Structure 1
Amino acid sequence: PFPAATDLLHISYNQDYGCFAAGTKTGFRIYNCDPFREIFRRDLGPSPAAANEPEAAQALHQPPVAGGGGGGGIGVVEMLFRCNILALVGGGDAPHYPPNKVMIWDDHQSRCIGELSFKSPVRGVRLRRDRIVVVLENKIFVYNFADLKLVQQIETAPNPKGLCSVSQQPGSIVLVCPGAQKGQIRVEHYGARKTKFINAHASRVACFALSQDGRLIATASTKGTLVRIFNAAEGNLLQEVRRGADRAEIYSLAFSNNLQYLAVSSDKGTIHVFNLKINVGLTTNDKPLPAPDADVPHMSPSFSFIK
């Protein structure tokens, strides 16, 4: 069964949208999308760092987390396609791990094989086969997956939602995050070694999405009336669609795999699906994604894959 709404702390899809992970007050669960079924769950016991939490909180210059950190709460869980490696961050009233740490979990060994520590709570994590991206409220850290070496630090505007998107097809990496100014997004093209700033909206950016091939970006502002689609490489506006005339909080934006449609969900209890009037032949890469066991990072002596 799916966890009760009061127990649910986090939901995220894997990179090919074939699975999703749910972080709960007691651990995490992995689900298959089609057909829908629970694949496995891990109910975590008391935090291994519970006894040291006051010292850890003191080092962060903040009070201990309510609840004593003695529970199994997972506030962020990110899958790496369908392999046994996940990224976990403690969350809720009784986090299993400190909220300022990213734990690399090997489910084959049922233990953590690496960790990344920060001076403030982690707002989000994104995984590629070759990168780990950690989002804090005002900064983003990019690491090599294989050796956890820091590649880049990016300063952002306040980002409490942990907004960040990373392309998933092999080859050049594209990363999108909030810029330093209101209404701005920043696009990092690692293959071309260039940074592009796009002034997407007059008001603050509330949500954005990056296509899997890293070529299209959809953005919405805090007004929630318009959604804009940009070319990631050049930053030019390709299309603008109107969700409605009244203000709305945009929860999510999602491109279809063939880039023919864009879905928009909001606090109005509706999902809008728009046709994209874009020359798909010029913006898509027809090469299929590699099998999930290709080019995975070699942090662990063994990898298994979810069927």
Structure 2
Amino acid sequence: MVQMLFRYQILALVGGGPDPLYPPNKVMMWDDNESRCIGELSFRSEVRGVRLRRDRIVVVLEHKIFLYNISDLTLEHQIVTISNPKGLCEVSQVSGHPLLVCPGLQKGQVRVDHYGSKRTKFIAAHDSRLACLGLTQDGRLLATASSKGTLVRIFNALDGSLLQEVRRGAERAEIYSLAFSSGAQWLAVSSDKGTVHVFSVKVDSGSLGCERSHRRSASESNLPSPSGISSLSFMKGLSFSGVLPKYFSSEWSVAKYHLQEGLRYIVAFGHQKNTVVILGMDGSFYRCQFDPENGGEMTQIEYYNFLKPEETS
């Protein structure tokens, strides 16, 4: 397990695999410029996840989360969670007091810690267990997916209100990653179905206050979207009345890209406008571009395999 502190030379390393260099219950802080470990954190159980920001390091165990000051590795806070084998946890990246999200003590519950105001909020996000979390850099928007993997929900992380719900598909799937674009206009989702989806986020995160959320104006939200709304959305009234299932009024992805099914992929947004970066556990790297107006299948503009350079195109 490796976590990089932005583009700095500091890495957090956790041992794994059949013959690990470091034990799986330790986090080694590595300075790549000096090629040496500059600190370590030891635990009684296996480390499930690590998150870094400029002033904090977050270590996730199966039932606990620890927040440390990154300068001297002093413990600042610890959280008890429900069983969290995936190491689910996200932390805001903007300067100032951090906002941390993680599983709560109940199935499908998200815990949000606001370290600036010293408040903790719990969100009943799903009926089934959490599978993935995503957070905007400023910590204002939170995306969640459950073990069912059919729906993704977007919450106001400041007050816990549900802002938007989008549908990945009708069949169960394991969600591997959720990523917001830097401006929080788009949300990318990858799953074991081998498809990366991009959804339009219909929330202005900059207008979210500490205790209130503001949706875009009615005139703006009613503007037509190319493929972000189901073509069967005219049945919405019937759906809500119970005549037809909610599936028919679902909000669908604007764009998608098909990959090998069953392989684990992590997705993020690129520096170029309307681009998505996809990393596969087989060493594959994809950079794709989507059309925000017409939607549809994304266009591959770059491919590289770090484990098989001869396959590069």
Which interval holds the TM-score relative to the shorter structure? 0.5 to 0.7
Displacement after TM superposition at 1:283 (Å)? 4.0
Aligned AA (1:235): G
Displacement after TM superposition at 1:277 (Å)? 1.1
Q: Which residue of 1 aligns with 2:170?
A: 245
3-state SS in 1 of match to 2:14: strand
Aligned AA (2:78): Q
Q: Which residue of 1 aligns with 2:201?
A: 276
Q: Alignment partner for residue 75 of structure 2, among 137, 150, 165?
A: 150
Displacement after TM superposition at 1:107 (Å)? 1.4
Displacement after TM superposition at 1:84 (Å)? 1.5
Equivalent residue runs for 1:160-199 within 5 Å: 160-199=85-124
Q: Which runs of 4+ in 1 moved over 2 A?
A: none
CA distance in 1, matches of 2:194, 2:3: 26
Q: Alignment partner for residue 114 of structure 1, among 39, 42, 46?
A: 39
Q: Alignment partner for residue 11 of structure 2, among 86, 94, 103?
A: 86
Higher gyration radius (CA): 2
The CA deviation string for residues 223-268 of structure 1, in whole angstroms up to 9 with x for no partner, is 1111100000100000011111111111111111111111111111
Sort the Cα spacing of 1:281 and 1:108 in 2 relative to 1 into closer, same or farther, 3 A.
closer
Aligned AA (2:36): R
Q: Which residue of 2 aligns with 1:290?
A: none
Q: Alignment partner for residue 134 of structure 2, among 192, 199, 209?
A: 209
3-state SS in 2 of match to 1:115: strand
Q: TM-score, normalised by structure 2?
A: 0.65
User: Aligned-residue CA RMSD in angstroms?
Assistant: 1.1
Displacement after TM superposition at 1:101 (Å)? 0.6
CA distance in 2, matches of 1:137, 1:281: 34
Specify which structure has the bigger relative contact order, considering alpha-carbon pairs within 8 angstroms and separated by 6 or more residues.
1
CA distance in 1, matches of 2:174, 2:114: 29
Q: Which runs of 5 or more structure 2 residues have no equivalent in the other structure?
A: 210-313
Q: Alignment partner for residue 22 of structure 2, among 97, 103, 106?
A: 97
CA contact (8 A) 2:49 2:88 kept: yes
Q: Which residue of 2 aligns with 1:137?
A: 62
The CA deviation string for residues 174-206 of structure 1, in whole angstroms up to 9 with x for no partner, is 001111100001001000100010000011111
The CA deviation string for residues 106-148 of structure 1, in whole angstroms up to 9 with x for no partner, is 1122111111000001111111111010001111011001111
Report sequence identity in percent: 72
Equivalent residue runs for 1:31-70 within 5 Å: none
CA distance in 2, matches of 1:273, 1:113: 39
Number of matched pairs = 209
3-state SS in 1 of match to 2:172: coil
Q: Which residue of 1 aligns with 2:270?
A: none
3-state SS in 1 of match to 2:207: helix
Q: Which residue of 2 aligns with 1:8?
A: none
Sort the Cα spacing of 1:130 and 1:281 in 2 relative to 1 into closer, same or farther, 3 A.
closer
The CA deviation string for residues 16-60 of structure 1, in whole angstroms up to 9 with x for no partner, is xxxxxxxxxxxxxxxxxxxxxxxxxxxxxxxxxxxxxxxxxxxxx
Aligned AA (1:84): Q
